[in-house]
Chains A and B, each alone.
Chain A
Amino acid sequence: GQNIDQPTEMTATEGAIVQINCTYQTSGFNGLFWYQQHAGEAPTFLSYNVLDGLEEKGRFSSFLSRSKGYSYLLLKELQMKDSASYLCAVTYTGFQKLVFGTGTRLLVSP
């Protein structure tokens, strides 16, 4: 299978830093995406990694290690509006679809 695993839920406080991990099956791996989904809304694209390393985009950064089948999404200077679900998703070569993990629900408290 293409098991994509992430923690179910995380909590953090405003202003803090939080790291959301994602592991996936490495065979045939093509690229990894992070999406944000606020309650009752559509998922929206955050980041994409295909090569090893860190991609930084403002307060959000995403890291990938292809050999380890591991990624994380790093959120800095947390704000209340960052409370949402964060979905890790992977594309595999030859499979014409984006496979989503179960998502991590992040709750940011004051």
Chain B
Amino acid sequence: DTAVSQTPKYLVTQMGNDKSIKCEQNLGHDTMYWYKQDSKKFLKIMFSYNNKELIINETVPNRFSPKSPDKAHLNLHINSLELGDSAVYFCASSQDSPSGSGANVLTFGAGSRLTVL
């Protein structure tokens, strides 16, 4: 199946721990993203990579570090987890970068629900 797949789907951990979420896409897309959806369902971009190069880095604490080993993978590592990090994290991909390019449709993964206790 062609898709964006992310693991784990659920993650429950204690404050202060370090955790990672992995994402892979087999769509042949050039751009990958991490979005955070909070309890109010607001979906906000965190990072974007185009062909392994970081192109968007929103005002995200530096405890969050994305890594793209190749254009099909974009992982998210979070250090020293805090209660406010609890959210659903969505990985997504698109054919091109969205700057001035027209219909750049995002395909989302199923989400990873992170709960920090």
Contact = CB atoms under 8 A, between A and B. Distances in A.
B90 A42 contact: yes
Contacts, number: 67
Interface string B3-18: 0000000000000000
A98 interface: yes
Interface in B21-42: 33, 35, 40-42
Given A42-B90, A43-B90, A98-B98, A48 B103 contact: yes
Determine the interface band of chain A, counting residues with CB < 8 A from chain B.
20 to 34
A74 interface: no
Interface string A70-110: 00000000000000010100010111111110110100000
Contacts of B58: 97
Contacts of A37: 41
A41 B9 CA distance: 11
B110 A96 contact: no
Given A97-B48, A97-B56, A102-B41, A45 B99 contact: no
Interface in B91-117: 97-100, 102-111
Contacts of B41: 37, 85, 102-103, 105
Contacts of A33: 105
B83 interface: no
Contacts of B33: 97
B42 A93 contact: no
Number of chain B interface residues as a range: 20 to 34
A96 to B, nearest CB: 4
A40 B53 CA distance: 30
Contact of A45 (B56, B97, B106, B111): B106
Contacts of A65: none
Interface of A: 30-31, 33, 35, 37, 41-45, 48, 50, 85, 87, 91, 93-100, 102-103, 105
10 contacts: A30-B100, A30-B102, A31-B104, A42-B109, A42-B110, A43-B106, A87-B43, A96-B97, A97-B48, A98-B106
